[in-house]
Amino acid sequence: MKNQVLLSFFFLLFFGCNKYTPPAKPNLKSEIGKTPKNIILMIGDGMGISQITAGMYINGNKLNLERIKSIGLHKSYASNNLVTDSAAGATAFASGVKTYNGAIGVDADTTSVPTILENLKAEGYATGLVATSTIVHATPASFFSHVKSRKMYEDIADAFLDGTVDFFVGGGLKFFNAREKDDRDLIAELEAKGYQMGSYFDEDFSTIKIDKTKKFGYLTASKDPLTVEQGRKYLTPATEKAIDYLNGKSEKGFFLMVEGSQIDWGGHANNTNYIINEMIDFDKTIGKVLDFVEKDGETLLIITADHETGGFALNIGSTMDTIKGAFTSDYHTAALIPVFAKGPGEELFKGIYENTAIFDKMEELTANRLP
Ligand code: MG
Ligand code: ZN
């Protein structure tokens, strides 16, 4: 008998201590009272505090970001490196797991992990992706595909055939119809599956008429889209058309991810003007999205970055008209990253938390929706 008591004591001790205790869930009703119907996640790739600052001063000391009051910070590190890349960074937002640099929609053991876009699609939400990189680049890819390496662009493009993305705009046409691994024409295959497909090759995005009864895909370049300086103009109109297309498509709501992809590329190039032009372009789009969010009242907008790029600083000698940019790296850095939130549930994004918590909060808000 004594032995049995002792045994059960050790049993409890062992299993009791090893039992996983999930983090306390917020009491949504008392904390926020209302949850969002739609979620728009905007990612400025490589957009740290200094990139935002430089864009703000050159833009006349003002950004649309300043319209947002709920602000937090996230810890951007990857599972295998304090300095994350865009693949691990986007997978953290999309799926809530810390994974290794290069991983797209898979965890640190290369096992596929469901994404917020896939989860919401399965519940009947409408879904969309807009990017100023190729649409198969790491950031958008992490929301709808699952591959071991971010370089597997053609495999990532294949994942569009699942139909989980209702609306997408970005570069990378060649990964659909001028492929190295096979002779497939994914444009034709997607059209056969009910997509209205278009590209820069046939028609300018500004003149395209979108058939709302179909799904929609538009490829803005063969590979990487132009820079703002070279004349790229589609981020704002594509985002507005995405919202117009997605809003009301499903009575459940919609999920849209919009990426200002090239703020990062300005950082890699150690090019201050490149960063500023891309930052201001992204902020203009933010302004249009905020107009919608403020009017709609049922949409939560979250704006963040995956990481900072360049170790960018505004050095002495800078003025509000001329930024003397300086760099510590031509790669990413590990600094804390700002998160801006507006709309029902915005309060949950204040504070300092892991990048994976952005997924947790979006899941929490949509899974426990309050009227
Ligand atoms: Mg990116
Ligand atoms: Zn980068």
Q: Is residue 6 part of a domain?
A: no
Which numbered ligand comes closest to the C-alpha of 171? 1
Per the structure, the count of domains in the chain is 1
Distance from the CA of 317 to the center of ligand 1, in angstroms? Answer: 31
Beta strand pairing call for 332-333 and 126-134: unpaired
Q: Cα 273–232–206 angle (5° rounding)?
A: 155
Q: How far apart are CA 194 and CA 334, in angstroms?
A: 43
Which numbered ligand comes closest to the C-alpha of 269? 2
Q: Is residue 354 part of a domain?
A: yes
Q: Is residue 190 part of a domain?
A: yes
**Structural domain for 138, as ranges:** 36-367
CATH code of residue 343: 3.40.720.10
Q: Is residue 101 part of a domain?
A: yes
Please write the tens of the pLDDT for every residue from 185-220: 999 999 999 999 999 999 999 999 999 999 999 999
Q: Is residue 87 part of a domain?
A: yes
Q: Is residue 29 part of a domain?
A: no
Q: How far apart are CA 204 and CA 221, in angstroms?
A: 11
Please write the tens of the pLDDT for every residue from 213-258: 999 999 999 999 999 999 999 999 999 999 999 998 999 999 999 9
Please enumerate in sequence order all residues whose Cβ is within 8 A of that of 74, keeping only pairs 6 or more positions apart, or say none: 304, 336, 337, 339, 352, 353, 354, 355, 357, 358
Q: Is residue 164 part of a domain?
A: yes
Please write the tens of the pLDDT for every residue from 126-180: 999 999 999 999 999 999 999 999 999 999 999 999 999 999 999 999 999 999 9
DSSP SS3 for 71 = strand
86 assigned to active site: yes
- Write down the catalytic residue from 50, 86, 250, 261: 86
Distance from the CA of 138 to the center of ligand 1, in angstroms? Answer: 6
In angstroms, how far is CA 283 from the centroid of its own chain? 15
Distance from the CA of 349 to the center of ligand 2, in angstroms? Answer: 24
Distance from the CA of 82 to the center of ligand 2, in angstroms? Answer: 14
Q: Is residue 1 part of a domain?
A: no
Selection from 38, 39, 35, 64 nearest residue 291 by Cα = 64
Question: Which pTM value belongs to this model?
Answer: 0.92
